[in-house]
């Protein structure tokens, strides 16, 4: 009686070969993937390190460029006293020096404690602190041009930054009378704000 059933013994060799091939192929693919992934991870890590080093290098190059650009100015500001400790004596000396030329009948000043420099919308960068010291200046003037001369003289005398917060001029005599060239005709009062910059190195 002829049988149609499958003769597994006939196919045994081929099936075992197939099984081994499946296992071997799977193993080859798995280890291939593992190896490739490992190398790819090494590559990515190295690439990241290179990028980081390159970024640092670029930053440094940029820094050096900026340093070249800004160091001179920064040192000038530092030397003039704009940056660092405020130089109150220099301001008073400057005021006196200007008045020695202008010869105003009276020039009084009152330098008040230092405070933050506040202006709407003005925000200094991080670690930079802008401070200011208001100086109340009272004066007697022959005419209003003396006020301009005083402010202009200060600008020339000292390279520190200052801004005028307010100025008040009051006629001393009667309206319509001619100015007396030997007496003060105007009383003035101004608030000058000396600006200085503190740098926090922390």
Partner 1 sequence: MKRILYFTGYRMVAQEWDGRKLVSSVYFEPDELGLDLFSAYLESLRRQPVRLLVDLIEEEFRQITIPLLRGADRKEIVERNLIRYFRNTEYRHALSQGVVKEKGRKEEKLLLMGLTNPQLLEPWLQLIEKQQVPVSGIISLPLLSESVVQRFKAEQRCVILVSQQVPSNLRQSVFLDGKLILSRLVPIASFYQGDYARDVVRDVESTQRYLVSQRIVDRADVIGVQVLTNKRHLDRLRAEVEGDNDFEYRIHEINQVLSDEKIEVPEEQDFSSALFCHEATRGLYVNHYAQKAEKKYFHHHLASLAARFVAVALLAIGLGYFGSALIKGWMYGNSIEEMSLLQQKYASKYKQLSLTRAGSDVSTEMMQNVVKTVEKLQRGYQQRPQEMMILISQQISLYDRMRVKEYEWFLAPSSDAVSASEVSWDTPKRKRRSRRDRNAPKPRKGLFEIAVFKGELLDFDGNYRYALSAVADLEDAMRVSGWYDEVQVLKRPLDVESEKQISGEVGVGKRREQGKAEFTIRVVRKVKTDEK
Euclidean distance between CA atoms 94 and 200, whole angstroms: 28
The full 3-state SS of 169-192, as one line of letters, equals EEECCCCCCCCCCCCCCEEEEEEE
Of 38-46, 90-98, 105-113, the segment contacting partner 1 by CB under 8 A is: 38-46
- Quote the least distance from Cβ 139 to partner 1, whole Å: 13
Which residues from 134-193 bind partner 1, rule CB under 8 A?
144, 147-148, 151, 161-171, 175-176, 190-191
Give the number of residues in contact with partner 1, rule: CB under 8 A.
89
In this structure, are residues 146 and 86 in contact, taking their beta carbons and an 8 Å threshold? Answer: no
The kind and range of the H/E element at 110 are strand 106-111
Name the nearest CA neighbour of 77 among 200, 181, 198: 198
In the complex with partner 1, which residue's Cβ is closer, 47 or 96? 47
Euclidean distance between CA atoms 95 and 82, whole angstroms: 17
Which residues from 89-118 bind partner 1, rule CB under 8 A?
117-118
Which residues from 18-37 bind partner 1, rule CB under 8 A?
18, 20-22, 24-29, 31-33, 35-36
Please select the residue that binds partner 1; options are 108, 128, 180, 183, rule is CB under 8 A: 128
Name the nearest CA neighbour of 87 among 156, 159, 164, 191: 159
Q: Is residue 124 a contact residue for partner 1 (CB under 8 A)?
A: yes
Which residues from 42-71 bind partner 1, rule CB under 8 A?
42-43, 46-47, 49-50, 53-54, 56-57, 60-61, 63-64, 66-67, 69-71
Other C-beta atoms lying within 10 Å of the C-beta of residue 79: 11
Please select the residue that binds partner 1; options are 95, 137, 158, 197, rule is CB under 8 A: 197
């Amino acid at each position: 009686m002829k049988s149609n059933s499958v003769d597994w013994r006939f196919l045994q060799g081929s099936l075992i070969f197939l099984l081994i091939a499946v296992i071997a192929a799977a193993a080859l693919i798995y280890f291939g993937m593992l190896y490739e992934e490992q190398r790819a991870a090494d590559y990515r890590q190295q690439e990241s390190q290179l990028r980081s080093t390159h970024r640092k290098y670029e930053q440094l190059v940029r820094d050096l460029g900026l340093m070249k650009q800004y160091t001179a100015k920064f040192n000038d500001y530092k030397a003039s006293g704009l940056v660092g400790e405020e130089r109150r004596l220099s301001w008073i000396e400057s005021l006196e020096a200007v008045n020695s030329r202008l010869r105003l009948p009276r020039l009084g000043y009152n330098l008040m404690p230092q405070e933050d420099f506040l202006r709407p919308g003005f925000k200094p960068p991080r670690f930079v602190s802008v401070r200011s010291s208001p100086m109340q200046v009272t004066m007697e003037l022959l005419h209003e041009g003396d006020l301009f001369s005083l402010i202009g003289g200060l600008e020339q005398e000292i390279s520190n930054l200052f801004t005028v917060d307010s100025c008040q001029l009051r006629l001393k005599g009667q309206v319509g009378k001619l100015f007396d060239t030997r007496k003060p005709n105007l009383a003035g009062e101004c608030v000058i704000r000396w600006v200085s910059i503190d740098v926090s190195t922390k």
